[in-house]
Amino acid sequence: MGLEIKESGSVPLKDWVASNCEYEGCYENNSGYCAREDPDFLRARIKDLIENKPTGDYVFECEFEVPEGTCIYCGAELEPVKELVGEYWGAPAYKTLYKCPRH
């Protein structure tokens, strides 16, 4: 398995409570359910629930880990895609991007 890459993303509190997290590439995502057991993370979410009802539009930033080379949203392996970025001395210049085959 490759390296673990730290990522972050915005998660609506109401989606987290309803087990609807969109970051299915995360190691701690189990079909939308967040299985994270870190006490500080859980305390922060309880505080969020008390201060911001989950029916509102409150969003928190979540840091998570995904395997290197996988999509943070679905866990699929990213595929290399060459993209034209311009010209260099009259010749086309490309750069390689990695994109999810499902999105």
**pLDDT above 80 (res 4):** no
Q: What is the mean pLDDT of the chain?
A: 88
Q: What pTM was estimated for this model as a whole? A: 0.73
- Name residues whose C-beta falls within 8 Å of residue 53's C-beta, 6 or more positions apart in sequence: none
- Residue 11 covered by a domain: yes
> Rounded to an integer, what distance in angstroms lies between the CA atom of residue 60 and that of residue 39?
16
**pLDDT above 80 (res 96):** yes
- Name residues whose C-beta falls within 8 Å of residue 8's C-beta, 6 or more positions apart in sequence: 61, 62, 63, 64
- Name residues whose C-beta falls within 8 Å of residue 47's C-beta, 6 or more positions apart in sequence: none
- Residue 103 covered by a domain: no
Structural domain that includes position 70:
4-77
- Residue 101 covered by a domain: no
- Residue 86 covered by a domain: no
**pLDDT above 80 (res 1):** no
- Residue 82 covered by a domain: no
- Residue 33 covered by a domain: yes
- Residue 96 covered by a domain: no
63-77 confidence digits (pLDDT tens):
888 988 899 999 999
